[in-house]
Each structure stands twice: as structure tokens, then as C-alpha cells.
Amino acid sequence: MSKIDTSLRTVLISIGLMILFVSNIPAKKNPAIGSSGHNIYMDRCGACHGENGKGNGPAVGSLKNVPADLTLLAKRNGGVFPEEWLRKVVGGEEEVDITAHGSREIPIWGQLFHAKNAADQYFANTRFGDLVTYLESIQEPID
Ligand code: HEC
């Protein structure tokens, strides 16, 4: 066997082992915990909506209205997770009157989901998508 054959074989075996290893990583119980969306949520929503999304965050006492229970979004929308509506409420597509969130121009989460220029909007959309994935993962089951 030539030297090239041997190194090619080594490379192929390594790739095979890598695939075997990656495909054997057990799925986590709740894949959203520790995800980018979870981090964004804890950073920008958790103080009011609570660590578990139930609306009982540490800032609640200083608010005029009780923050919504974000685990019931799908249940309260006939079992369908309201992604388009979230785009309006949080994504900055429309002015939505939730005083605690600030305004469309000055939302409490800054330019995180609604950037001032097109280039940054790409990243803002990615962050919003991650947040939506997380929120979807904490929805109460529909019975
Ligand atoms: C400063 C506190 C505060 C922060 C931070 C905050 N919220 Fe809220 N949010 C509220 C309050 C209070 C309400 C209820 C307002 C009302 O009913 O007038 C609310 C309502 C909502 C609603 C509407 C729910 C419904 O059913 O009508 C959504 C969706 C929501 N928040 C999502 C978020 C997300 C996502 C974040 C983080 C990116 C966030 N909020 C950050 C206080 C906050």
C-alpha cells in the first residue's frame, strides 16, 4: 500500500469516527436551556416575565401591569404559537402599546431586534429568531 493510500485511509477513518461520535451525543432534555434564545430571554425579558416565563420576574413590584405569562401564548391563541404577532409586539414591525416595553423608537431592549440599518437588521433577525425558538420551547402543552 502506498503512503498516499495509508494517509487517505487515516483521514477517512477519522471522519467516520467523528460522525459516529457526533451522532451519539444524547439529546438534551430541554435543548432550549443555555441556547442563544434562552440567553437573550434571560437578559432582556426575564427581569419582568420571570425566569420561567410565567410573569413573576424580580421587577414586577415596580410595574403598573402584571407581565404576561409567556408560556401561554400558544394556548391563548387556539393552540397555535403566534409568531407573526410576536413580530409586531417584540420585533418592532409595528408600534404596539405596551408601556412597560417602551416605544417602537426606544424599546426597552434597544436595537436588539429592530436595527437602524439593513446590515445590522440581519443580526437583529437572527436574534429575534433565536428568541422565538426559545419562547416556543417553553409553551404549555395544549390539551
Ligand atoms: C420592564 C418589564 C418588561 C420587560 C423587560 C419585558 N416585558 Fe413583556 N410585558 C411586560 C408587561 C408589564 C406586559 C403586560 C402589559 C400589559 O398588559 O399592558 C408585557 C407583555 C408582553 C407581551 C404581550 C402578551 C400578551 O399576551 O398580550 C409579550 C408577547 C411580551 N411582553 C414579550 C416580552 C419579551 C419577549 C420580552 C423580552 C425581549 C419582554 N416582553 C420584556 C413587561 C416587560
11-40 per-position pLDDT tens digit:
777 766 666 556 555 444 565 778 899 999
For residue 113, pLDDT over 90 is answered with: yes
The answer as to whether 105 is a domain residue is yes
Best residue among 45, 56, 81, 113 to mutate for probing ligand 1, ranked by most atoms within 8 Å of CB: 45
To test the ligand 1 pocket, which listed residue (60, 65, 101) has its Cβ within 8 A of the most ligand atoms?
Answer: 101
C-alpha angle 113/118/39, rounded to 5°? 25
Distance CA 136, CA 75 (A): 11
DSSP at 2: -
Q: Is residue 124 part of a domain?
A: yes
Averaged confidence pLDDT in the chain: 88
CA of 84 from ligand 1 middle (Å) equals 16
Domains identified in the chain, total number: 1
Domain containing 81 equals: 29-137
pLDDT at 6: 77
C-alpha cell at 124: 437583529
